[in-house]
Amino acid sequence: MSDDRYASAPEVAGEVIDGEAIVINLETGIYYSLDRAGALIWELLTSGYDAAETAEMLASAYGVPVERTRDDTVGLAGELVREGLLLARTDGSRDLKPVVLAEPARSYETPRLERYADMGDLFALDPPTPGLADIPWRLPDRSAEDG
């Protein structure tokens, strides 16, 4: 199963910053962070690399056995799918985005997904306006407009 490919789910926004990833599930309001190896796995999987390629690149970057990174990649990908952050890709297309692998600042550690579910409290203080999810952010060509 390590050649599985994934894409970030449509209702998910994610950014990698300073080697760490912040991922927000816009549907549930739960947000997540991933540490260094985890952030790299997220970045590679959402850039079109399959799980086997991701594990190899991770092993190469950190200088650890690929068996270890493969288990971690598959394990984390499964967790990300269960949280609704990644979708397994079933189509045959392949759209690889380049990922720059910086030299890791620390030794390899098994990635850990941190989960934050406190937005419910924040929403109670400052509730979102209903209907936001249905706004199309990209306007279509003029010819397709209403009227």
Partner 1 sequence: MEADFPSASEVEGVYRTLATRFERELRSASGALCEEKLRLAGKPVLVRVLGHELAERALAAFTASGWSGEDVAELRIDLLAAPVSAGTGRDRSDAEPFGRLVSSPSGRYLLHDTKSFRALLDRRGGRLIAAISDLDWPAWEQAKPLSSLLAVWYSGQDVSFIHAGAVALDGQAALLLGAGGSGKTTATLVCAQAGFTFLGDDCVALTRRPDGFSAHAVYGTAALEERHLARVAPELAARSALTTSVDGKRVFRVVGRSGVSEVGDPYVSVLLLPRLVGNGRSGLRPARPREALLAVAPSSVLGRAVPASETLGRLAEVAALVPSYWLEMGANVDELPGLVARALAGEEVV
The residues of the shown chain that bind partner 1, judged by CB under 8 A, are 13-18, 20, 22, 24, 26, 29, 31, 33, 116, 118-119, 122-123, 125-132, 134-140, 142, 144-147
- Residue 134 and residue 117: Cα distance in Å, rounded? 23
Cβ(6)–Cβ(82) below 8 Å: no
Is 63 or 127 the residue whose CB approaches partner 1 more closely? 127
Instruction: Report, in Å, the least distance between residue 91 CB and partner 1.
Output: 21
Is 30 or 55 the residue whose CB approaches partner 1 more closely? 30
Residue 122: how many CA atoms within 13 Å on its side-chain side? 8
- Residue 1 and residue 50: Cα distance in Å, rounded? 10
- Residue 105 and residue 34: Cα distance in Å, rounded? 15
Is 23 or 61 the residue whose CB approaches partner 1 more closely? 23
Instruction: Report, in Å, the least distance between residue 21 CB and partner 1.
Output: 8
Instruction: Report, in Å, the least distance between residue 131 CB and partner 1.
Output: 4
Nearest to 6 by CA among 125, 91, 71: 91
Instruction: Report, in Å, the least distance between residue 141 CB and partner 1.
Output: 10
